[in-house]
Structure 1
Amino acid sequence: MPLISNTQDLAAFCDRLKGETFITVDTEFMREKTYWPVLCLIQVGGTEEARCIDPLAPGIDLAPLYDLMADESILKVFHAARQDLEIFLHESGKLPKPLFDTQVAAMVCGFGDSAGYETLVTKLTKARIDKSMRFTDWSRRPLNDKQVKYALGDVTHLRIVYESLAAMLAQSGRESWLAQEMDILTTPSSYIVEPEEAWLRIKARSRSSKFLGMLRELAAWRERTAQERDLPRNRIIRDEGLLEIAASAPTTPEALSQLRSVSKGMADGSMGQGIIAAVKTAQSLSDRELPQPPKKDDLPQGLGPVVDLLRVLLKMKCEQEGVAQKLVANMSDLELIAADDNAQVAALEGWRRELFGADALRLKHGNLAIALTEDGLGLRMIPLGE
């Protein structure tokens, strides 16, 4: 059975892969009950062989694998890599480089906004994926032959998917487009949640700086506690609970225990002490130290139709060029472009500007028109006097 469960076999396998130009990689993990994902299985495929690696095997040292992931002479191919990369960064302190994400490449090549692995395998390899093990518990041991065979399929089919997409990118001249996206994926800060910024993920109705200061301190306390205890944020306390505490600002266990979201046991224990300390910290902040509400300006009157036109242009350009709209711009980007020629959005930078952003500004300023084609079945752009 192609399952590696000791350091010696792992080192030998990694040595055999050192001459590869690319390897395919996938992971299986669990994180329903933890803050950090629990790595349960790693699949790696080369030209001649693919193996599953058991990170839960007693005494196994994954250093040879992490060294392989850090070898920049070998391209690492993933599908929907973000969660896999988060695991490698947490476990080894480094991100695999260089990187090729077939999901992002598929969006660049016109396979839709979030091309699934199964869809790509079916279209590009004509193979069918066995779905029977999709919801298996990868943390349970021992793994059986069927589980291992299923897991290996994630990296064996991926070789053909990669080769097909790489050829499409080369033919279209869009390799640099993907490279820009991979630069973002391989930036460590993309995966690090700073406790002091955790409040930005919580939907708060109040725009009061004092309330937001309270929420910031409470969310930072929860984030640090979740990390230290390796528990999901909601197992510490839910967002609704943080909002309730921020609104009432209790400074004693008695006051804290009166809230619906806090049990008396929590209020009287170490968790309650942490909450109260966060409340008192927030209360001591000066006005200058308080966070400012995130900017959410209403769209200026009259720009609604401009946004609608930009949306039509985006759809037209993406369909013509075979690129997923999601990868180019979203509705918020279109609103910002409609309001400001120098909006800080990705759609006005790099390849996105070439594909859409420059024409979006031309349309906005009356230097470009959109009309029906002569057969009335499509749209075309008409340059106007510039």
Structure 2
Amino acid sequence: MKPTIKLYQGDLPADVQFDGSVAIDTETMGLNHNRDRLCLVQLSGGDGVAHLVQLNTSKEYNAPNLCKILSDPKIIKIFHFARFDVAALKHSLGVVTTPIYCTKIASKLTRTYTERHSLKDLCRDLLSIDISKEQQTSDWGNPTLKPEQMDYAAGDVLHLHQLKVKLDALLLREGRTELAKECFQFLPTCTSLDLLGYEDFYVFQH
């Protein structure tokens, strides 16, 4: 079944709500948070619908409805490589995203037999779904997104709920559920260190 993609400008509509958990991803102009602006935030409740929020860059970011969801303690935010996205959201929107679940961390804690932990790898290996990453490095700052970009952006959140179910089972099997939770809880602090320039856990080194 073809997913439903909804595009909004500036903020998420107030009537878009999520129950219990929401999958989230971001698209930026590059990988440097202090240089490259946040362009798009994608969300999905795991129901086959992707909500894309294109942020207005003609003025300061102002997305109160989106920020309310990001900081809601009753809603688990599911990311793949949360460290990057959470930092981008904090830097641009000034919001601390919590609580967090990261499929990449969960994969690294359980799938120790492989070095393949990308979203594409997880979708293929755990869900038998092949997703395209062709648009990953396209121009996300363009005011008019191409249909291919919107399809790509949606694909980054539509499968995260299913992956969480698979990875939760692996974490339980390997006895690493609590360790994963502790890693997830540390992510807001980790991203604060990243934004200050303390990369690669410099403060923990000798």
Q: With structure 1 as the length reference, what TM-score do the two structures score?
A: 0.46
**Displacement of 1:91:** 2.1
**Displacement of 1:120:** 0.4
Partner of 1:51: 51
Name the one with the larger helix percent: 1
> Identity of aligned pairs, percent?
25
Contact 1:80–1:101 under 8 Å retained in 2:
yes
Partner of 2:13: 10
Size of the aligned set, in residue pairs, is 194
Name the one with the larger strand percent: 2
SS, match of residue 156 in structure 1: coil
**Do the aligned partners of residues 146 and 183 (structure 1) sit closer, same or farther apart at CA in structure 2, a change above 3 Å counting?**
same
Structure 1: segments with no counterpart, 5+ residues: 202-343, 346-386
Report which structure shows greater RCO (CA 8 Å, sep ≥6): 2
Amino acid across the alignment from 2:83: R
SS, match of residue 13 in structure 2: helix
Looking at structure 1, the residues matched to 50 and 132 of structure 2 have their Cα atoms a distance apart, in angstroms, of: 18
- Highest Rg: 1 or 2? 1
**Do the aligned partners of residues 75 and 31 (structure 1) sit closer, same or farther apart at CA in structure 2, a change above 3 Å counting?**
same
Structure 2: segments with no counterpart, 5+ residues: none
Looking at structure 2, the residues matched to 54 and 39 of structure 1 have their Cα atoms a distance apart, in angstroms, of: 9
Partner of 1:172: 174
Looking at structure 2, the residues matched to 130 and 159 of structure 1 have their Cα atoms a distance apart, in angstroms, of: 18
Amino acid across the alignment from 2:15: A
**Displacement of 1:32:** 6.8
Partner of 2:134: 132
Q: With structure 2 as the length reference, what TM-score do the two structures score?
A: 0.82
Alignment deviations for residues 116-148 of structure 1 (CA, whole Å, 9 cap, x no partner) = 111001011111112332221111121122211
Looking at structure 1, the residues matched to 182 and 32 of structure 2 have their Cα atoms a distance apart, in angstroms, of: 34
Q: Map of 1:67-106 to 2, 5 A cutoff?
A: 67-106=68-107
What CA RMSD, in Å, does the superposition of the two structures yield over aligned residues? 2.6
**Displacement of 1:192:** 3.5
**Do the aligned partners of residues 150 and 180 (structure 1) sit closer, same or farther apart at CA in structure 2, a change above 3 Å counting?**
same
Contact 1:29–1:40 under 8 Å retained in 2:
yes
SS, match of residue 14 in structure 2: helix
**Do the aligned partners of residues 148 and 110 (structure 1) sit closer, same or farther apart at CA in structure 2, a change above 3 Å counting?**
same
Partner of 1:27: 26
Looking at structure 2, the residues matched to 133 and 6 of structure 1 have their Cα atoms a distance apart, in angstroms, of: 22
Amino acid across the alignment from 2:8: I
Contact 1:43–1:52 under 8 Å retained in 2:
yes
Amino acid across the alignment from 1:56: N
Contact 1:184–1:190 under 8 Å retained in 2:
no
Alignment deviations for residues 250-288 of structure 1 (CA, whole Å, 9 cap, x no partner) = xxxxxxxxxxxxxxxxxxxxxxxxxxxxxxxxxxxxxxx
Partner of 1:118: 120
**Do the aligned partners of residues 80 and 114 (structure 1) sit closer, same or farther apart at CA in structure 2, a change above 3 Å counting?**
farther
